[in-house]
Amino acid sequence: MKEVSIIGLDLAKNVFQVHGAGSDGSVSFRKKIPRTKLIEFFSSVPVCIVAMEACGASHHWAREIGALGHKVRLIAPIYVKPFVKRNKNDAADAEAISEAASRPTMRFVAVKSVEQQAAGMTLKIRDLLVRQRTQTINALRGHMAEYGIVAPNGPVHVARLAQSIDSRDQRLPSTVIDLCSMLLGHIASLGEKIALLEKEIRERARHDETAKRLMTIPGIGVICATALQALAPAAESFRRGRDFAAWLGLTPRQKSSGGKVQLGATTKMGQRDLRRLLICGAVAVVRWARRKGAPEGSWLARMLARKPPLLVAVALANRTARIAWALMAKGGVYRLPEPKPA
């Protein structure tokens, strides 16, 4: 085996493809390795850089391979694609990963710890259960509307539908009552599971100093603060707050050329769940400001005076993301800025 500097690893379920490259970029080896022998293979090769695409299983393999002394680099798949030559196959993918990792300006994904992944799993399962509860409530509302029994949107109005079922409304056949009772039981079961997960999330946030500091920012609550801790890379991965906001997809898309700057809509790239939570929090802040009034001379008051509310909410989410990065990177708590004179 020739001297190897970088190994590109194309992840799979059972058979993995590896591509070894020397310091000059020459091919050292190409191999297919079964899953059961992957760790044995990396134990036998000299310490080097091991690169792979960031995906669901990549953090596990990064921790396992990193424990052997190798320097692990995770790359977003979108940055690997330009290096694939002609036809796509496992060998070409592994070579492209190796070549992408050798670029001095390449951006890498931070490897998550087991605790981070567990916290992220809690949030994602909660989101899944909330979606399932919403689907079941909508199904119940739709079926009962066919019999002239209607209720507004939202979980709080399920009690109105349950009352009609419990009282065995004459408009509902017995079969429909039994089926709707089944849906009500499923909704109640999902609600209990969601409540247990939210209790765990609140408990984790109560013992986390960074989460408590993030919750001092208007528009960031327990779930958003915990999600920032679990789903976002380390604050040191970004040079400034704008880079973090751009990673979240809250900055305008650029289409600039010839020295002429052209900005479009927000990119909507990066972590979708974090972006959604930040925008939902910003919408709540904007609604409160429109109802109660924003502090005179504040940034929010000036924006609401000349821009549509939804646009202001997205801009506020961008601003909140930058503040959150500053608190995670430099410490401290949020302090209300001094309003500018009119």
Q: What is the pLDDT along the chain (342 residues), one digit of tens a residue?
A: 568 999 999 999 999 999 999 988 899 999 999 999 999 999 999 999 999 999 889 999 999 999 999 999 999 999 999 999 888 899 999 999 999 999 999 999 989 999 999 999 999 999 999 999 999 999 999 999 999 888 888 888 899 899 888 888 788 888 999 999 999 999 999 999 999 999 999 999 998 899 999 999 999 999 999 999 999 988 888 999 999 999 999 988 888 888 888 888 888 888 899 999 999 999 999 999 999 888 888 899 999 999 999 999 999 999 999 999 999 999 889 987 776 665
Contact 72, 62 (CB under 8 A): yes
Residue 126 and residue 181 in one domain: yes
Residue 51 and residue 137 in one domain: no
Residue 21, domain CATH: 3.30.420.40
Residue 323 and residue 254 in one domain: yes
- The pTM assigned to this predicted structure is 0.85
Residue 294 and residue 215 in one domain: yes
- Asked if residue 108 belongs to a domain, the reply is no
- Asked if residue 335 belongs to a domain, the reply is no
Question: Of the residues 101, 124, 152, which one is the last residue of a structural domain?
Answer: 101
- Asked if residue 76 belongs to a domain, the reply is yes
How far is residue 280's CA from residue 284's CA, in Å, rounded to a whole number?
6
How far is residue 136's CA from residue 139's CA, in Å, rounded to a whole number?
5
Residue 255 and residue 304 in one domain: yes
**Number of domains, the chain:** 3
Q: Which domain holds residue 293?
A: 210-330
- Asked if residue 34 belongs to a domain, the reply is yes
- Which of 10, 7, 1, 3 is closest to 71 using CA atoms? 7
Residue 230 and residue 282 in one domain: yes
Residue 51 and residue 91 in one domain: yes
Residue 191 and residue 216 in one domain: no
Residue 91 and residue 133 in one domain: no
Question: Of the residues 153, 177, 207, which one is the last residue of a structural domain?
Answer: 207
Question: Of the residues 156, 178, 207, which one is the last residue of a structural domain?
Answer: 207
Per-residue model confidence as pLDDT tens digits over 168-177? 878 888 899 9
User: What sections of 171-298 are H helices per DSSP?
Assistant: 174-206, 209-214, 222-231, 241-248, 272-292
Cα 332 from chain centre: 24
Residue 129 and residue 166 in one domain: yes
Residue 123 and residue 139 in one domain: yes
Residue 321 and residue 270 in one domain: yes
